[in-house]
């Protein structure tokens, strides 16, 4: 018997064995941001300590979900609440840490219970760890933030911030019976009986540059649809220099209201029980279109600007 052997055909080369296709060897990054730069502060403090579920994760501002939202919701961002006995205009005022509420919230006396908070302020941040500033390197981080602010609060590209011109905003709404200074109660919505007579509607209008009396136009609209004002009833608001004083929208400051709709019958909007949704449209001297307050992007605002018509 004869046996012959046949040589197997050569296996073709695997193209993925080509060394030139291998990923490059990782090399340590040479990037080492300055401790007083915003990217360092965001990485070491804001994203790790503050961007927590139910806190500054987009639930409310400042918004620390990413470095852009963090910067833009802090620098030159107006505040909604002031610590007691203190007056701040911005969360971060470039060039002056002493006038930046961010520093106040990181360093003030803790106010975790209501009595202490009313005496000393809103409470030291982080809210769930008021001893944070005394732990590890955290006091150094606070100094880093202070130095960053005092050096101009520059962005990640080293550019100084620019203070923009904001739209006017309505930061308070109250309703009274015509000629009466007592506002209707607001457990959540403003409740008014359908048999009630004419009312006065008061608005507190604010702007960063234009004085209230210098607004180009001021209107108030009433709709039966929370998100559709295309067919709303429209009325003109009138400026008044001697308006009544009420709480503002955050419900922590008493302010003098400066715009008013007088002697208005709500039954021209709704003659039965239900809800009336309100928005204001205010235009200042620096913009060509009026600002809308509230708008569809703010559930809290739309809740505040609701009248509940009861039996």
> Which pLDDT value is given to residue 202?
98
Q: Do residues 126 and 50 touch, judged by C-beta distance below 8 A? A: yes
Average model confidence (pLDDT) across the chain: 83
Q: Is the pLDDT of residue 223 over 50?
A: yes
CA distance 50 to 52: 6
Per the model's pLDDT, the better-predicted residue between 58 and 292 turns out to be 292
Distances (CA, A) of 87 to 78, 130, 153: 12, 22, 20
pLDDT at 27 over 60: no
Is the pLDDT reported for residue 66 higher than 90? no
Beta strands in 63-136 (DSSP E): none
Q: Is the pLDDT of residue 195 over 50?
A: yes
Q: What is the pLDDT of residue 53?
A: 65
- Give the integer Cα–Cα distance in Å for 74 and 88: 13
Residue 298 has pLDDT above 70, yes or no: no
The confidence band for 280, taking pLDDT boundaries of 50, 70 and 90, is: very high
pLDDT at residue 116, rounded to an integer? 42
Mean pLDDT within 156-168: 88
Residues contacting residue 40 through CB under 8 Å, at least 6 positions apart: 33, 34, 144
- The per-residue pLDDT for 3 is 55
Q: Tell me how far CA of residue 101 lies from CA of 75, 81, 94, 144, 186, in angstroms.
A: 11, 10, 12, 16, 29
> Phi and psi (nearest 5°) for 242?
-130, 50
Closest by CA position to 219, among listed 268, 287, 291: 291
Mean pLDDT, residues 77-101 taken together: 81
Highest mean pLDDT among 3-17, 34-48, 79-93, 129-143: 34-48
Task: Map tokens 């509607």 to a residue.
Answer: 201
As a whole number, mean pLDDT of residues 204-229 equals: 95
Q: Name the residue with higher pLDDT: 296 or 259.
A: 259
Helix (H) or strand (E) holding 119: helix 114-120
> How many CB atoms neighbour CB 121 within 10 A?
21
Distance CA 178, CA 200 (A): 5
Domains and CATH numbers, the chain: 38-150 (no CATH), 169-310 (2.60.40)
- Residues 237-265 have a mean pLDDT of 93
Helix, strand, coil percentages, rounded to 5, for the chain: 25, 25, 55
How far is the C-alpha of 257 from the C-alpha of 205, rounded, in Å?
A: 7
Residue 114: predicted pLDDT: 40
Question: What is the C-alpha to C-alpha distance for residues 171 and 204, in angstroms, rounded to an integer?
Answer: 5
Task: Go through the chain and tell me how many residues it has.
Answer: 311
Instruction: Tell me the pLDDT band of 115, cut-offs 50, 70 and 90.
Output: very low
Residue 156 near residue 95, CB atoms below 8 Å: no
Residue 12 has pLDDT above 90, yes or no: no
83, pLDDT greater than 90: no
What pLDDT, on a 0 to 100 scale, did the predictor assign at position 256? Answer: 96
Checking if the pLDDT of 232 tops 70, the result is yes
Among residues of the chain, what percentage have pLDDT more than 90?
A: 49
Question: Does residue 29 register a pLDDT over 90?
Answer: no
Asked if pLDDT for residue 231 goes beyond 80, the answer is yes
């Amino acid at each position: 018997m004869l046996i012959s052997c046949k040589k197997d055909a050569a296996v073709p080369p695997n193209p993925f064995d080509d060394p030139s296709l291998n990923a490059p060897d990782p090399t340590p990054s040479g990037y080492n941001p300055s401790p007083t730069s915003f990217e360092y502060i965001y990485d070491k403090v804001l994203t790790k300590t503050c961007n927590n579920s139910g806190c500054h994760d987009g639930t409310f501002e400042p918004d620390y979900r990413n470095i852009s939202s963090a910067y833009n919701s802090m620098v030159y961002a107006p505040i909604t609440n002031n610590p007691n006995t203190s007056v701040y205009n911005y969360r971060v005022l470039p060039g002056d840490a002493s006038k930046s509420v961010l520093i106040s919230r990181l360093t003030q006396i803790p106010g975790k219970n209501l009595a202490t908070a009313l005496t000393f302020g809103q409470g030291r941040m982080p809210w769930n760890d008021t001893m944070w500033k005394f732990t590890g390197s955290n006091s150094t981080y606070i100094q880093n933030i202070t130095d960053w602010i005092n050096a101009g609060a520059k962005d990640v590209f080293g550019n100084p911030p620019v203070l923009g011109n904001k739209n006017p905003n309505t930061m308070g709404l109250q309703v009274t019976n015509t000629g009466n200074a007592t506002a209707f109660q607001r457990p959540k919505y403003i409740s008014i009986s359908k048999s009630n007579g004419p009312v006065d509607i008061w608005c507190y209008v604010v702007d960063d540059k234009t004085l209230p009396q210098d607004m180009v136009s001021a209107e108030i609209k009433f709709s039966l649809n929370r998100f559709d004002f295309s067919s709303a009833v429209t009325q003109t608001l009138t400026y008044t220099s001697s308006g009544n004083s009420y709480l503002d929208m955050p419900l922590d400051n008493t302010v003098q209201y400066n715009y008013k709709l007088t002697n208005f019958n709500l039954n021209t909007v709704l003659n039965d029980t239900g809800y009336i949704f309100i928005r204001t449209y205010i235009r200042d001297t620096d913009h060509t279109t009026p600002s809308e307050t509230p708008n569809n992007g703010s559930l809290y605002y739309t809740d505040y600007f609701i009248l509940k018509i009861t039996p």
